[in-house]
Amino acid sequence: MAMQNSNKTYRQVDKIHAAPRPHWVGDGFHVNPMFNHMVGDKRTDPFLMLDYAAKQYFEPNARAPRGVGQHPHKGFETVTIAYAGEVSHRDSSGSGGTIKTGDVQWMTAGNGVIHEEFHSPEFSQAGGDFSMVQLWVNLPAKDKATPAKYQHLANDDMPLVSLHDDEGLHAGQVKVIAGEFTLAVNAKAPQQGDNKARGIGTTFTPINLWDISIEPNRSVEVAISRTHNLLLLSMQGDVIINADHDQQAHANQLITFEIESGDTGEDFVRLTAGKAGAKILLMSGEPINEPVVGYGPFVMNSQAEIRQAILDFNAGKFGDIQ
């Protein structure tokens, strides 16, 4: 249920999840597993999994770069956001590239792909701070057979929007990776164009992916469609949700929100940073509401489709990395 306040309704927190125990993915990604699709939580639909590699220093490495070698995926998309460091990607669709700080790679596995991800050779040799997010986004049944593709979203190409507090003063910023961000939800803040900032990432279903930074001890509000499920990843600092001091999240915590009825219109979320400021990844999307059957790197709608995915992979139908 949403809470009514004046002329606005505020999306209510369902749970602030304890920080998980980190583990290694390959030898290059020390991640906090924030959630995964095997739990069957409807609040995370259309998202399947979220791993957060908090900032960690890697010593210079003259040997082979750290990372994860060749492995398959089918039936969903992987979104990797670079907060510090560099990741080089290659896949069997012929795509590849290196994302640097602020960049995003968006890989559609679709009907099957093999890929690999390593620290870039340049980063490996120099060493330095490394921090990444990887998000798995489900595909609806009608799109699971789409050809594999790759989007490189450069930091400088993504809209960066100023956030304002109740007095219309600058209080933070949001980078719109995908979806639409409603500008100036505060009437005192400056209006711009059609009042929407649009991310350059293309999606199969309606999704918002926003990278939010809030100045110390400042509050901002963002608007979310009532048809969307909503998740927040608190990455740095403390953040109070909807001015409720009992709903305070710290670094490395996931916030899930109550599921709305799907009515038209928008809810709001008020975010108040602590004394060190806050950095948050906001994920929202219309639920797909289809069966989710996962087996390792494959996510389909039935066990029969999983068995076929395994057969296709073993038969070499996902191609090869050249």
Question: Tens place of pLDDT for every residue, the chain, 322 residues?
Answer: 556 566 789 999 999 999 999 999 999 999 999 999 988 899 999 999 999 999 999 999 999 999 999 999 999 999 999 999 999 999 999 999 999 999 999 999 999 999 999 999 999 999 999 999 999 999 999 999 999 999 999 999 999 999 999 998 999 999 999 999 987 565 455 555 557 899 999 999 999 999 999 999 999 999 999 999 999 999 999 999 999 999 999 999 999 999 987 678 899 999 999 999 999 999 999 999 999 999 999 999 999 999 999 999 999 999 999 8
| 274 CB-near residues (< 8 Å, 6+ apart) | 216, 217, 237, 238, 239, 240
Q: Is residue 315 assigned to a domain?
A: no
> Do 79 and 100 share a domain, yes or no?
yes
Residue 122, domain CATH:
2.60.120.10
Contact 53, 131 (CB under 8 A): yes
Is 164 marked within a binding site?
Answer: no
Q: Is residue 264 assigned to a domain?
A: yes
> Do 163 and 148 share a domain, yes or no?
no
Contact 84, 131 (CB under 8 A): yes
> Do 151 and 243 share a domain, yes or no?
no
Is 73 marked within a binding site?
Answer: yes
Look up residue 37 and give its two tokens.
Answer: 């699709």
Q: Is 109 helix (H, G, I), strand (E, B) or coil?
A: coil
Q: Is residue 306 assigned to a domain?
A: no
Kindly report the number of other CB atoms within 10 A of residue 124's CB atom: 24
> Do 86 and 208 share a domain, yes or no?
no
> Do 41 and 144 share a domain, yes or no?
yes
Residue 31's pLDDT is 98
> Do 51 and 135 share a domain, yes or no?
yes
Name the H helices within 165-319: 303-314
> Do 51 and 132 share a domain, yes or no?
yes
Helix (H) or strand (E) holding 235: strand 229-241
> Do 95 and 199 share a domain, yes or no?
no
The CA distance from 250 to 75, in Å, is: 33
**Could you tell me the residue range of the domain that residue 265 belongs to?**
2-14+158-285
Q: Is residue 53 assigned to a domain?
A: yes
| 10 CB-near residues (< 8 Å, 6+ apart) | 2, 3, 4, 242, 267, 268, 269, 270
Q: Is residue 119 assigned to a domain?
A: yes
pTM, to two decimals? 0.94
Is 30 marked within a binding site?
Answer: no
Contact 114, 72 (CB under 8 A): yes
Is 89 marked within a binding site?
Answer: no
Q: Is residue 314 assigned to a domain?
A: no
> Do 281 and 236 share a domain, yes or no?
yes
Closest CA to 44 of 284, 221, 223: 284
> Do 126 and 166 share a domain, yes or no?
no
Residue 4's pLDDT is 58
Number of domains in the chain: 2
Contact 93, 241 (CB under 8 A): no
Q: Is residue 113 assigned to a domain?
A: yes
Indicate the residue among 121, 155, 189 that finishes a domain.
155
Q: Which residue has the tokens 């007095």?
A: 167
> Do 103 and 65 share a domain, yes or no?
yes
Residue 136's pLDDT is 99
Q: Is residue 307 assigned to a domain?
A: no
> Do 151 and 170 share a domain, yes or no?
no
